[in-house]
């Protein structure tokens, strides 16, 4: 049985400095993935998704101090993350996900 999506996203290296981390990288990437799967596209779209669903996301993921990431945080993360590494982790999850349903 493969790792779940969160476990895979936690393996993506965080490029940010320690001082600039209000939200775990995996969480921002998860919200981008969730937004995309719900038809939201681009930085503004992902920011709208997070804002629109903030209450549910805060409750589900136990977010406390800083709330959900802002549009600008999402933009910085997406622009800075190594796409090849992210795609590799996502594809690993997707391959295993497809096998689990059989």
pLDDT per residue as tens digits for the range 38-91: 999 999 999 999 999 999 999 999 998 889 999 999 999 999 999 999 999 999
- The reply to whether 9 falls in a domain is no
pLDDT at residue 21 in the model? 87
Cα separations (Å) of 48 from 27, 40, 53, 70, 73? 16, 8, 8, 9, 13
Cα separations (Å) of 46 from 19, 42, 54, 83, 101? 24, 6, 12, 17, 28
Summarised one tens digit per residue, pLDDT across range 8-44 is 999 999 999 888 788 999 999 999 999 999 999 999 9
- The reply to whether 15 falls in a domain is no
Domain span including residue 41: 24-100
- The reply to whether 29 falls in a domain is yes
Q: How many domains, in total, are found in the chain?
A: 1
- The reply to whether 8 falls in a domain is no
Q: For residues 68 and 31, what is the distance between their CA atoms, to the nearest angstrom?
A: 9
């Amino acid at each position: 049985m493969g790792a779940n999506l969160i476990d895979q996203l936690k393996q993506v290296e965080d490029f940010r400095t320690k001082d600039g981390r209000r939200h775990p990288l995996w969480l921002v990437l998860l919200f981008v993935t969730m937004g995309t799967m719900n038809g939201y596209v681009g930085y503004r779209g992902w920011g709208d998704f997070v804002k629109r669903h903030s209450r549910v996301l805060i409750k589900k993921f136990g977010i406390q101090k800083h709330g959900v990431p802002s549009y600008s945080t999402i933009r910085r993360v997406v622009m800075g993350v190594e796409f090849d590494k992210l795609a590799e982790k996502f594809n690993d999850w997707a391959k295993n996900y497809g096998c689990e349903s059989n």
